[in-house]
Amino acid sequence: MQHQLSRLVSTTRARIALALSVVLAVALLAGAAPASGTSNTHSKPTVVLVHGGWADSSGWNAEIERLQKDGYPVIAPANPLRGLGSDAAYLRSVLQSITGPIVLVGHSYGGAVITNAAVGVPNVKALVYIAAFAPDQGENLAGLVTKNPGTQITPDALLERPYPLPGGGTGTDLYIKESVFREAFAGDLPCSTTRLMQATQRPFSLAAFTELSGTPAWKTIPSWYLVATEDHAIPPVTERFMAARAKAHVEEVEASHVPMMSRPKATTDLILKAIKATR
């Protein structure tokens, strides 16, 4: 009787072990291959979103949510806002850490940064400018923003604060004054939102505003441009000029300087068009 019980226990253990091994094998296979009708996210380009001055990466929240929902890897690094050369070098280091194709998106000053950072990074397949600067070699933001009348980002709209430089000396940070922030920067957003934006704005170094741009990546990388027709920071006529010079695919949207916040669908749709065109 005891011998029969031992055989029964041994047989039961063997069956349980076999069942567990089958379940484990099925689980491993399911994890190794995507289910039918789904795509491997690693085959999709990484979308890198670069914010501009007086802002941070949270301005891209709506675009990030939709792109991630569609299965795209997304990164929105913090733009240092210290100087065009150093900011571009920092972003280039981020781009060089990414494997696979990249679609690089810049807003406002972020456009100048991507214009410089993408040079020499072969896996950047598209540049997308959202109400952004797209400078040519030897230009700076100060010259472009005053190229045509219409900007409200004038010297009297800015507050200057000195800050210490790492190697000694003093730099100058620029902030948009509370009295003009909403009208100049984000007039189509609720006042409650723009009050928070103004209070939490990241300082924009004068050096970033005046430093000369280098060889532009838009000369060799396909570009897209979203013109904000109600922009009071970069005049729309200047946006159209830069877009035409870069031979960009242009779309226009009725928006302030921050269409990624006030018109996120139009912004994301243009990013997706750039993605599809570069497959």
Residue pair 234/133 in contact by the 8 Å Cβ criterion: yes
Q: Nearest to residue 117, comparing CAs of 101, 130, 106?
A: 106
204-205 and 170-176 beta bridge pairing: antiparallel
**pLDDT per residue over 124-152, tens digit each?**
999 999 999 999 999 999 999 999 999 99
Q: Assess whether pLDDT exceeds 90 at residue 159.
A: yes
- pLDDT above 90 coverage of the chain, percent: 83
More confident residue, 5 or 163: 163
Over residues 7-34, mean pLDDT:
40
pLDDT of residue 26: 33
pTM given for the model = 0.85
Over residues 232-246, mean pLDDT:
98
Band (pLDDT 50/70/90 cuts) for residue 239 is: very high
**pLDDT per residue over 39-93, tens digit each?**
344 579 999 999 999 999 999 999 999 999 999 999 999 999 999 999 999 999 9
Give the C-alpha separation, 28 to 40, whole Å: 16
Residue pair 181/204 in contact by the 8 Å Cβ criterion: no
Domain boundaries, the chain: 41-277
Q: What is the mean pLDDT of the chain?
A: 89
DSSP assignment string, the chain: -HHHHHHHHHHHHHHHHHHHHHHHHHHHHHHHSPPTT---GGGSPEEEEE--TT--GGGGHHHHHHHHHTT--EE-PPP--S-HHHHHHHHHHHHTT--S-EEEEEETHHHHHHHHHTTT-TTEEEEEEES---PPTT--HHHHHTSSTT----GGGEEEEEEE-TTSSEEEEEEE-HHHHHHHH-TTS-HHHHHHHHHTPPPEEHHHHHSPP-S-GGGTS-EEEEEETT-SSS-HHHHHHHHHHTT-EEEEES--S-HHHH-HHHHHHHHHHHHHHT-
Over residues 205-216, mean pLDDT:
97
pLDDT of residue 234: 98
Instruction: Output the six-digit token pair for 225.
Output: 């441009």
Give the C-alpha separation, 36 to 112, whole Å: 42
Q: Assess whether pLDDT exceeds 80 at residue 25.
A: no
More confident residue, 36 or 84: 84
Q: Flag the least confident range among 14-18, 114-118, 173-177, 210-214.
A: 14-18
Q: Assess whether pLDDT exceeds 70 at residue 1.
A: no
Q: Assess whether pLDDT exceeds 80 at residue 13.
A: no
pLDDT of residue 167: 87
- pLDDT above 70 coverage of the chain, percent: 85
Band (pLDDT 50/70/90 cuts) for residue 209 is: very high
pLDDT of residue 43: 79
Polymer length of the chain: 279
CA dihedral 245, 125, 118, 227 (to 10 degrees): 40
Band (pLDDT 50/70/90 cuts) for residue 278 is: confident
pLDDT of residue 279: 82
Q: Nearest to residue 125, comparing CAs of 17, 45, 70, 195?
A: 45
pLDDT of residue 42: 53
Class at the top of the CATH hierarchy for domain 41-277? alpha beta
